[in-house]
Amino acid sequence: MAIEATTQPVHGHRSLQHHFENMEQQREAGTLGMWIFLVTEIMFFGGMFLAYALYRSLYPAAFASASNHLDITLGAVNTGVLILSSFTMAMAVYFTQVGKQRPQVLCLVLTLFLGLAFLGIKAVEYHDKYEDHLIPGRLIPGNPFNPAVQEEGQPIDHHKLHLLPGATLEKVEMFYWIYFAMTGMHALHMVIGAGLLTFLIIFSLKGRFDPEYHSPVEVVGLYWHFVDIVWIFLFPLLYLLGRHFEHG
Amino acid sequence: MSEHIVSVRVYITIFLVLLVGTALTVLAAFIDFPWRLNTIVALTIAVVKATFVVLYFMHVRYSSRLVWVIVASALFWMGILFALTFSDYLTRDWISTQTG
C-alpha cells in the first residue's frame, strides 16, 4: 500500500538524530541555527560599535590621541595571526569534507595554536597599557587611570601620551573604556573558541567526523570566522584612526 | 541540494586578499587624506575583507536562500540601531543653536 511506501525507515548514519530525515537536513538545520546565533552576536557587538562611533564623533581629538598610543605593530601582527587562523580553520573544514583525518587534526591544532598566540600578544599589549597607567577608572587597585602627558619641547617618551589640540585626559579615558570593553569581549570570544577547538581536536582524534558528518567542525568554523570579522573591524577603528594627524 | 566543497585554491586566494587588505589599511592610515576620507577608506577595506570572509570562508555564497536572509537581517537591524541613534545625536545641536 501507498502508506507503507512513504514510511520506509531510513537506515542512517550513526550520528543522525532521530528527528531528522537525513544527514543533509541535519547539517542544514545546524548551520541555520548557528547563523541565527551569530546574528545575536552581531547585535551584541553592534551595541559596542555604536558606543564607539558615538563617542568618537563627539570627541575626535581625544580618540585620535588615545589611539595613537596603541602599538600598531602588535595590532597588525595580531591581525595577520587571526587571518591565518581563519585560513587554517577553513582548511580544517575542507579536510573534514574530503575525509582526510590527519590533515584535519593538524589544521585544528594549528588554529588553536594561532588563537592562543593572538591572546598572548594581546596580553603583552594589555601589560604595556597597565605599565603606562592607562587602565581606565579604578579597575586595578592601586593603579588608577593616570597616564603621563608629553609636554611640548621635551624629548619624546613613548610611554607618555601625546595629546592633540582639543583632547582632554577625561575623554582619552573614555576611549580606553571602550578599547578594553571591545577587545576584552573579543578576547573572551577567542577563549571560548579555543575551548571549542579543544573539543573538536579530541573528537577529531577519535575519528568522529567524516564527509557525511562534519557539522561540528563547520559550525565552530562559522563562530571562529565571525570572531575574525569582529577583529577586522576593531583593528582599523581602534589602532589606525588618528595616525594621519601625526605623520601627514 | 548537495553540499558545495570550496577548493583549496579559493581558500588560499581569499587568505592572500585578506593579507593584502590588512597591509593596505595600515599604509592608508599614515596618509593624510582630505575631509573624512581616512575613516571611509579604512571602513571600506574592512567591509571588503569581511565580505570575502562571509562569502567564502563561511560558505554563504554556496548556502541556501534562508541563510542569505538571516545574514541580511543582521545588517538590517544594525542599520536601524545606527540610523535611529545618530538621527538623535547628530541633530541635537540644531535645536540648541536656535534657542541659545
- Residue B66, C-alpha cell as written in the block: 534562508
A145 within a domain of the structure (yes/no): yes
Q: How far is A206 from chain B (nearest CA, A)?
A: 23
pLDDT of B32:
85
C-alpha of A163 from chain center: 30
> Residue A92 pLDDT more than 50?
yes
| Closest chain B residue by Cα to residue A78 | B22
A18 within a domain of the structure (yes/no): no
- Are B5 and A235 inside 8 Å of each other by CB? no
Nearest CB to A76 within list B22, B58, B67: B22
In this predicted model, what pLDDT tens digit does every residue of A200-244 receive, in sequence order?
999 999 988 888 888 899 999 999 999 999 999 999 999 998 888
In this predicted model, what pLDDT tens digit does every residue of B34-89 receive, in sequence order?
888 899 999 999 999 999 999 999 998 988 899 999 999 999 999 999 999 999 98
Q: How far is A216 from chain B (nearest CA, A)?
A: 14
Residue numbers in A near B6 (CB within 8 A): 90, 94
Helices B8-29, B37-52: inter-axial angle, 10-degree rounding:
170
| Closest chain A residue by Cα to residue B6 | A94
- Residue A187, C-alpha cell as written in the block: 578576547
pLDDT-derived band at B97, boundaries 50, 70, 90: low
- Are A247 and B25 inside 8 Å of each other by CB? no
> Residue A90 pLDDT more than 80?
yes
d(CA B84, CA B82): 6
> Residue A101 pLDDT more than 80?
yes
pTM for this model (two decimals): 0.90
d(CA A83, CA A78): 9
d(CA A97, CA A91): 10
Section A68-82 average pLDDT:
94
The percentage of chain A sitting over the pLDDT mark of 90, rounded to a whole number, equals: 62
A183 within a domain of the structure (yes/no): yes
Section B9-17 average pLDDT:
95
d(CA B54, CA A154): 48
A56 within a domain of the structure (yes/no): yes
- Choose from B58, B59, B78, B93 for mutation: most chain A CBs within 10 A: B58
A-proximal residues of B, 1-40, CB under 8 Å:
1-3, 5-6, 8, 11-12, 14-15, 18-19, 22, 25-26, 29-33, 38-39
A138 within a domain of the structure (yes/no): yes
pLDDT of A155:
78
Cβ-Cβ contacts under 8 Å for B87 (sequence gap 6 or more): none
Nearest CB to B57 within list A24, A90, A233: A90
pLDDT-derived band at A20, boundaries 50, 70, 90: confident
| Closest chain B residue by Cα to residue A217 | B58
pLDDT-derived band at A184, boundaries 50, 70, 90: very high
> Residue A5 pLDDT more than 80?
no
> Residue B21 pLDDT more than 80?
yes
A-proximal residues of B, 69-88, CB under 8 Å:
70-71, 73-74, 77-78, 81-82, 85-86
pLDDT of A125:
94
> Residue A163 pLDDT more than 90?
no
A35 within a domain of the structure (yes/no): no
Section A81-107 average pLDDT:
94
Residue that the C-alpha cell 563617542 belongs to: A55
Count of residues making up chain A: 248
pLDDT-derived band at A248, boundaries 50, 70, 90: very low
A7 within a domain of the structure (yes/no): no
CATH of the domain at A144: 1.20.120.80
CB neighbours of residue A154 within 10 Å: 9
> Residue B99 pLDDT more than 70?
no
- Residue A163, C-alpha cell as written in the block: 595629546
Section A94-118 average pLDDT:
95
A188 within a domain of the structure (yes/no): yes
**Bigger pLDDT: A27 or A10?**
A27
Section A151-168 average pLDDT:
82
Let me know: does A68 contact A179? Beta carbons within 8 Å. Answer: no
Domain boundaries, position A131: 45-247
- Are A27 and B31 inside 8 Å of each other by CB? no
> Which string of DSSP letters, residue by residue, matches B8-64?
HHHHHHHHHHHHHHHHHHHHHHTS--STTHHHHHHHHHHHHHHHHIIIIIT-GGGS-
Q: Give me the number of domains chain A comprises.
A: 1
Nearest CB to B46 within list A42, A46, A236: A236
